[in-house]
Structure 1
Amino acid sequence: MTENMKEKIVQSVPQTGFFGHPKGLFTLFFTEFWERFSYYGMRAILIYYMYYELSQGGLGLDETTANSIFAIYGSLVYMSGIIGGWVADRLLGTSRTIFYGGIFIMLGHIVLSLPGSLTALFISMALIVIGTGLLKPNISSVVGDLYSNEDQRRDAGFSIYYMGINMGSFIAPIIVGTIGQNYNFHLGFGLAAIGMLFGLIIFLLTKKKNLGLAGTFVPNPLPQEERKKVFGTIGAVVLTAGLIGAYAIDKGYLNIERFILLVSILGIVIPVLYFIFMYRSPKTTNTERSRLIAYIPLFIAAMMFWAIQEQGSNILATYADKRTQLDFAGFKLAPALFQSLNPLFIIMFAPVFAWLWVKLGNRQPSTPKKFAIGLVFAGLSFIVMIIPAYVNGTETLVNPLWLVLSFFLVVIGELLLSPVGLSATTKLAPAAFSAQTMSLWFLTSASAQAINAQVVRFYSASTEIYYFGIIGGLSILLGFLLFALSPQIQKLMKGVN
């Protein structure tokens, strides 16, 4: 997309109307609010649905397998953003891709809402993986389209958008989690489907008036004469992979454990190939190549961060269920309620960070330094989990305030890294790969969770101290290293702050 086209898009969007930000931020804020309500509502009870006994309404998987499947599911959700970015960049544009993604997500939750077996779970997961891949990177890309690259409101706008994400994420575990755990898992999943429906309705009713031309252009359209060849190749690959997979399953060569290992490997290989492809593309300029090099350490740092943050939904969720004193201050706490802590703290502090970046203006820390500080806080969130096991051992139940502290620390890191990473990605992206580079940002989470699928196998009550200590220590060490390298990274960013 050319600079003239970007300027035309910005001019088509009403630039005020939502807390001093472009009016289109309202549409994207509430669409993503309901999408995250559906997704995190489902996630709040999914791990329990997998390992609770059949008599409790679950599927009866063992905890280690459930945690690995959960991590791989999260990895595939974000890995599929590659497909969504390609579809938006080459075929449909971001707006139409977002809508179709929401349809797939809603269908996935509907399948989960119906009583079924492990097969039904995997079908629903496949639908949600495809849908989130189509929707998630593209809706974030449209947020970037609302602002010019020089607009000082840009980082603040992403922080506000991020707050909308977390408002949906905060409410979901309280509503879906409570109903799912206390009454019926499938009823909870049904509420998640209704949430996505609300998001689709808001998007359809307000996008034309609020978004202008944002999301309507196809930045790197696939020529008509090439489409038949490309679609034929894709169909052949999908069919071949399906046949090979079916044969491998039938002969016992492919089982859950081997599939998890395969996805873990892909989680590392795919982003490497992605960087190489964009760097070597003739459509990428020399300045854009330099910015891609600068993006690599940011990508690695984000991987380390999400490897910790994403464990809040499986390892710390299991910790809440098995290791935490749930009778607290006269209340009986549901384990799923702890999933609301992360978005609650973001809702509380996102406005503070948004105000801070605007207040500091050009004096705010550079993007690499924000990432570095975020990594240190993420590491500390795991380090504090050593203390109760070290002081009282692993045989006694833990005060829930330790979990509260852990979630608080990782949120401070998240506010330093995640919205800033979204904003930096839109600014560092090569013009020909704008939506696909946003997909690359979401691959940081995919890669982290692909690694987590192997790492979570080492967690148990007896290994708590080593588990939290080693992972937390690595994050802090990487944070200090990134801080030291930040001046060199900043030079490679070629004027992007």
Structure 2
Amino acid sequence: MGKSRNLDTAFFGQPRGLSTLFFTETWERFSYYGMRAILLYYMYYAVSQGGLGMDQATAASLMSIYGSLVYLSSIVGGWLSDRVFGSYWTVFYGALLIMFGHISLSLPFGQGALYASIAFIVVGSGLMKPNITNMVGKLYSEEDARRDAGFSLYYFGVNFGAFIAPIAVPWAAGGFGFHAFGAHQNFHAGFSLAAIGMFIGLVQYLIDGKKYISPQSLVPTEPIEKENLRRVVTWIVAGLVVVLAFLGGLFLVGQLNIENIINMVTVLAFIVPIAYFVIMLKSKEVTSKEKKKVQAYIPLWIAAVAFWSIEESGSVVLALFAAQRTVLHIGGWHYSAANFQVLNPLFIMILTPIFVWLWNNWKNQPSSPKKFSGGLIFAGASYIWMALPGIIHGTTAGKVSPFWLVGSWFICMIGEMLLSPIGLSVTARLAPKAYSSQMMSLWLLADAAAQAINAQIVKFYSTGTEVPYFLSIGAVSVVLGIGLLLISKKIFSLMEDEA
């Protein structure tokens, strides 16, 4: 490593390049979570209220499958970075597409603009999401003791962008939620602010990027050879032909609609991770010892799917509850239903240092499978908590205190602290040597599968089904958590060298 990188302490004792990536990701998260804070309402609000007038169940399902596609696309982004563009340019192209996606939504062109936006942001996020984190790692040598602190600072930027977005973007949308439920909203102004946020992040990335990031990020780590490139292009074209043929078949039989496309993506979100597991377990490059670790990872991965299914419902089911069932004022202080989206990043920022201290000082702490079990139980408890207002009041027709939502998010975020960071660590630890990158992709695919499940089950949520919906899903999560706890010793033994 060069002297300048080793001695570079320009950003809170960290390399100057961390500042570039910190603010790029802060603005990207601002744009993404700002857009998500109001997108559901934009889709199902009536045209007279500034929305698209979609059916609420379809809008909620589309929101979930949108999130699933973002995580599915990250697999392609990682490959393009390693083999074709390099991290720097892959992130640049991703940020550019994300900005175009928000610009599409800011224009009053109806559902066509919505679907174009989804396409832009899904592809852009797939290019950007896995690679900007990789660029952070390249700022440090293996022996640099600042690495963990640098990643902690970077993730603060991620959550800070996600925290301010649900405040600023709804405000730009014309005081969204401050008026009666039927008030007209200027959603396009909110989407414009999201586009401006990504533009700011992109500009500072271009100005600072090449000067301060690692030179390794400018080129692909394993450039693809020409003969292999032809084979890849052939496979891509073949895949596109299959997809287009399927869509064409649906069109010919009069079944080409958003519901069937959502169903197609749901199936895909499970086929891909299952294929990954099968390939690893059958690969000759994976030793028998490594295959035991993959087997140990399967129940943990399933637990992660169950957890993320509840955690990711914050921008869908809990967003509906916020708009339809929650008192949107405390005394004279009025706020937006979209503002509740700040609770996720806020509690993560509060709880992270507490759990870091806990894991550093708890001598006989539970094994990773037991922590996963706790995460599932807390996630389930957060949903059971949400069933209580309807049970206590004997009706789901009125409005309830906002503190029900605050409590639910807090309980769920405790679960996230038990599962999410532990999951990243376990994924890296159990990965076969020949499939280390693919194993991390599998972790992201757990979220994709979870949101694909949500795309199907959110159709059953309404004010009338509120209590059984929360109770049944919450109970399933708790039961799965208890089941995982009962087999945790078996999983631990398969993990073998798990610390």
- Name the TM-score, length of structure 1 as normaliser: 0.88
Question: 1:176/1:126 Cα in 2 relative to 1: closer, same or farther (>3 Å)?
Answer: same
- Amino acid across the alignment from 2:350: M
- Amino acid across the alignment from 1:382: Y
- Amino acid across the alignment from 2:303: A
Counterpart of 1:401 in structure 2 is: 403
User: What is the aligned counterpart of 2:63 among 53, 70, 89?
Assistant: 70
Counterpart of 1:277 in structure 2 is: 279
Deviates more, 1:373-382 or 1:415-424: 415-424
Report the secondary structure of 1:461's partner residue.
coil
Counterpart of 2:317 in structure 1 is: 315
Contact (CA 8 Å) 2:135, 2:214: kept in 1 or not? no
Cα offsets for 1:150-198 (capped at 9, x unmatched) = 9998777655443322111110010012222535211111111122223
1:472 has 2:474 as partner: yes
Contact (CA 8 Å) 1:180, 1:186: kept in 2 or not? yes
Contact (CA 8 Å) 1:374, 1:414: kept in 2 or not? yes
1:117 has 2:110 as partner: yes
Deviation at 1:145, TM superposition (A): 5.5
Between the aligned partners of 2:79 and 2:293, the Cα distance in structure 1 is 21
Contact (CA 8 Å) 1:159, 1:353: kept in 2 or not? no
Contact (CA 8 Å) 2:173, 2:190: kept in 1 or not? yes
Cα offsets for 1:56-111 (capped at 9, x unmatched) = 11100111111111111111111112211222343334343222211211111111
> Gaps (5+ residues) in structure 1?
1-7
Contact (CA 8 Å) 1:13, 1:214: kept in 2 or not? no
**CA RMSD between the two structures:** 3.0
Deviation at 1:244, TM superposition (A): 4.0
Question: 1:13/1:133 Cα in 2 relative to 1: closer, same or farther (>3 Å)?
Answer: farther
Between the aligned partners of 1:222 and 1:135, the Cα distance in structure 2 is 20
Contact (CA 8 Å) 1:13, 1:146: kept in 2 or not? no
Question: 1:388/1:337 Cα in 2 relative to 1: closer, same or farther (>3 Å)?
Answer: same
Counterpart of 2:38 in structure 1 is: 45
Counterpart of 1:36 in structure 2 is: 29
Counterpart of 1:341 in structure 2 is: 343
Between the aligned partners of 2:143 and 2:293, the Cα distance in structure 1 is 17
Question: 1:485/1:396 Cα in 2 relative to 1: closer, same or farther (>3 Å)?
Answer: same
Contact (CA 8 Å) 1:155, 1:354: kept in 2 or not? no
Deviation at 1:425, TM superposition (A): 3.1
Counterpart of 2:180 in structure 1 is: none
Contact (CA 8 Å) 2:386, 2:408: kept in 1 or not? yes
User: What is the aligned counterpart of 1:59 among 52, 58, 63?
Assistant: 52
Between the aligned partners of 2:216 and 2:7, the Cα distance in structure 1 is 11
Contact (CA 8 Å) 2:139, 2:214: kept in 1 or not? no
Q: Percent identity?
A: 51
Between the aligned partners of 1:339 and 1:174, the Cα distance in structure 2 is 9
Counterpart of 1:172 in structure 2 is: 165
Counterpart of 2:377 in structure 1 is: 376
- Amino acid across the alignment from 2:376: L
Deviation at 1:19, TM superposition (A): 5.8
Question: 1:420/1:485 Cα in 2 relative to 1: closer, same or farther (>3 Å)?
Answer: same
1:135 has 2:136 as partner: no
Counterpart of 2:181 in structure 1 is: none
Between the aligned partners of 1:205 and 1:363, the Cα distance in structure 2 is 48
Deviates more, 1:150-159 or 1:162-171: 150-159
Between the aligned partners of 2:493 and 2:84, the Cα distance in structure 1 is 35
Contact (CA 8 Å) 1:95, 1:216: kept in 2 or not? yes
User: What is the aligned counterpart of 2:263 among 258, 261, 264?
Assistant: 261
Question: 1:375/1:162 Cα in 2 relative to 1: closer, same or farther (>3 Å)?
Answer: farther
Between the aligned partners of 2:87 and 2:364, the Cα distance in structure 1 is 33
Between the aligned partners of 1:284 and 1:151, the Cα distance in structure 2 is 31
Question: 1:292/1:448 Cα in 2 relative to 1: closer, same or farther (>3 Å)?
Answer: same
Contact (CA 8 Å) 1:14, 1:23: kept in 2 or not? no
Between the aligned partners of 1:449 and 1:377, the Cα distance in structure 2 is 19
Deviation at 1:447, TM superposition (A): 0.4
Question: 1:311/1:61 Cα in 2 relative to 1: closer, same or farther (>3 Å)?
Answer: same
Cα offsets for 1:15-45 (capped at 9, x unmatched) = 9666676765544433222111111000000
- Amino acid across the alignment from 1:172: A
Deviation at 1:382, TM superposition (A): 0.6
Counterpart of 2:198 in structure 1 is: 196
Counterpart of 1:3 in structure 2 is: none
- Structure with the bigger RCO (C-alpha within 8 Å, sep 6+) is 1
Question: 1:305/1:405 Cα in 2 relative to 1: closer, same or farther (>3 Å)?
Answer: same
- Name the TM-score, length of structure 2 as normaliser: 0.88
User: What is the aligned counterpart of 2:78 among 80, 85, 88?
Assistant: 85
Contact (CA 8 Å) 1:179, 1:188: kept in 2 or not? yes
Question: 1:403/1:147 Cα in 2 relative to 1: closer, same or farther (>3 Å)?
Answer: same
Cα offsets for 1:457-493 (capped at 9, x unmatched) = 2212222221111111121222233334334434444
Deviates more, 1:396-405 or 1:154-163: 154-163
Between the aligned partners of 1:434 and 1:26, the Cα distance in structure 2 is 28
Which residues of 2 match residues 421-440 of structure 1 at below 5 A? 421-440=423-442
Deviates more, 1:248-257 or 1:426-435: 426-435
Contact (CA 8 Å) 2:138, 2:214: kept in 1 or not? no
Question: 1:139/1:280 Cα in 2 relative to 1: closer, same or farther (>3 Å)?
Answer: farther
- Amino acid across the alignment from 1:274: Y
Contact (CA 8 Å) 2:396, 2:464: kept in 1 or not? yes
Cα offsets for 1:267-314 (capped at 9, x unmatched) = 222110122223434444555434333322221111111100111101
User: What is the aligned counterpart of 2:307 among 305, 308, 326?
Assistant: 305
Counterpart of 1:354 in structure 2 is: 356
Q: How many residues align?
A: 489
